[in-house]
Amino acid sequence: MKSLPAFAVCTLVACALGDAAVAAPAPAASNLLATYEDLHSHPELSHHEQRTAGIVARELRAAGYAVTERVGRYPDGSSAYGVVGVLKNGPGKTLLIRADMDALPIVEETGVPYASHVHAKNAAGQDVGVMHACGHDVHTSVLIGTARALAAARDRWHGTVMLVAQPSEETIDGAKAMIADHLYERFGRPDAIIGLHDTNLLPAGTVGIVGGPAQASSTSIDVLIRGIGGHGSAPQVGLDPVTMAAYYVTQIQSIVSREEDPRDPSVVTVGSIHGGTKRNIIPDEVKLELTTRSFTEKSRRTIIDGLTRMAQGLSVSAGLPPDKAAVVTVLDQESTPVEYNDPELSAKLHDVFVATFGADRVMPVERSMGSEDVGVLGMSPDLSRQEIPVAYFRLGAMDPQKLAAAQAAGKFLPGPHTSRFLPLPEPTLDTGVTAMTAAATAILH
């Protein structure tokens, strides 16, 4: 069945937006819709969420939370724009509520009045459009709305609420950066973690949650295919890496179709391929950026082994010397394990949602091949095991009439990571805040 991922993670593009390009935060907006539209029209790429983090910090402080900014440290020593807001309300459990803040290098084509016109330079120095094409502006707005709702409803819960506005989900290194900056040593260890992601597969006004392995692991892999460059008119003199790359891109699709167990789904995607400078020059090398998805370590290993073996075979069959062999590099920092929804906590949230919204607004959902680093917040530091229960639910975000019309025609509405992904703001935000607040008060009863 053809399907669009409800969640997709761009782990291939590391982009840079200079801090000098960051505009001053807008005046305080008590209206959540205004906050959302402001965030939507001012998206920031991963690692550069300065303005967004400033707005979150300001709004959480205004709601009465103890706020700490610049929480998070990347492996290169730079600090991240993570924000932590803590509200203590007597003895009891600690609940972590997480939202992600970063946007994507996409030129927005929704045409809405609050559309982004932001451009920035990516890490390679290229000019890219920037868009909240994954709806993290929805998540950030819901976090702010939930902060206010929980502060106003202190008679309905007790314990500690720890709100985490996380940077760099799209590059899959934001949660790791916050853990590396001693998140729990500084702010306390939570007893449970909840979060949400919007989806183009459900109408606004609905939610859904699936227990167990909910979102696939993501492994980012670089492949460098080397050859021997030369004049485009004399291919017999060199060894053309562009031709080799073309073979490779198609050959590696047989890993999933011929080597993996069909009962254990996996994905291999080449999202970026670059080589050469001019049509009549055979280049020396071609660079490929891949993302792979799996639900088991066996499946993940099969992909890595297959990619490595086929790259080696490619160079051998081309007659290249060993020092020109293709190089396969697994990027651990840009990879993330399976997001595991604790069955008991997920069942609890499901029941809370049914009680809050009615059964007809709690939709069945399936596990997704998209990836998420929210699970990292609940895992051991070496990412080998789950230590804190996590429940990550989905928030319907589409105009119900448009979604029904698309489904009747056998089509999908534009999904996350596309230029026309368009959440319907008000009912999506209202439902997100209501669902998150209900879940939090039920956990902190």
> Of 244, 242, 240, 288, which Cα lies nearest the Cα of 268?
288
* Three-point CA angle 163, 168, 170, nearest 5°: 120
Q: Which is nearer to Zn ion, 134 or 424 (CB)?
A: 134
With CA atoms as reference, report the closest residue to 97 among 445, 444, 333.
444
Neighbours of 262 (CB within 10 A): 9
Cβ atoms < 10 Å from Cβ of 441: 18
Residue 72 C-beta: closest distance to Zn ion, Å:
18
Which residue's structure tokens are 């009680």? Answer: 355
Nearer to Zn ion, 85 or 423 (CB): 423
Q: How far is the CB of 110 from Zn ion (least distance, A)?
A: 16
CA proximity to 102, closest of 28, 59, 166, 195: 166
Angle between helices 32-41 and 425-443 (to 10 degrees): 110
In the complex, what is the shortest distance from the CB of residue 308 to Zn ion, in angstroms, rounded to a whole number? 27
Tokens of 251: 């050959």
Q: CB 220 → Zn ion: shortest distance, Å?
A: 14
- Using the minimum distance from each CB to Zn ion, give the nearer residue, 134 or 362: 134
Output 56 or 134, the one with its CB closest to Zn ion. Answer: 134
Binding mask 376-415 for Zn ion (x = CB under 5 A): ----------------------------------------
Give me the half-sphere count of Cα atoms (radius 13 Å) on the Cβ side of residue 23: 12
66 or 123: CB nearest Zn ion: 123
Using CB under 5 A as the binding criterion, the count of chain residues that bind Zn ion stands at: 1
Phi, psi (degrees; rounded to nearest 5) at 44 = -130, 140
Name the minimum Å distance from CB 9 to Zn ion: 5
Instruction: Round to whole Å and give the CA distance between 44 and 438.
Output: 30
* Region of residue 377 (left: phi > 0; alpha: psi -120 to 50; beta: else): alpha
Instruction: Name residues contacting Zn ion, limited to 96-135 (CB under 5 A).
Output: 134
Residue span 342-381 as binding mask against Zn ion, x where in contact by CB under 5 A, dash where not: ----------------------------------------
- Strand, coil or helix: what is 335? strand
User: Judged by CB, which is closer to Zn ion: 73, or 98?
Assistant: 98
Smallest separation, CB 394 to Zn ion (Å):
11
Q: How many residues would you count in the chain? A: 445
Which x/- pattern, by CB under 5 A, does the window 133-162 give for Zn ion? -x----------------------------
Residue 13 contacts Zn ion per CB under 5 A? no
Closest distance to Zn ion from the beta carbon of 436 (Å): 16
Q: Based on CB atoms, which residue is closest to Zn ion, 46 or 266? A: 46
Q: Which residues bind Zn ion (CB under 5 A)?
A: 134
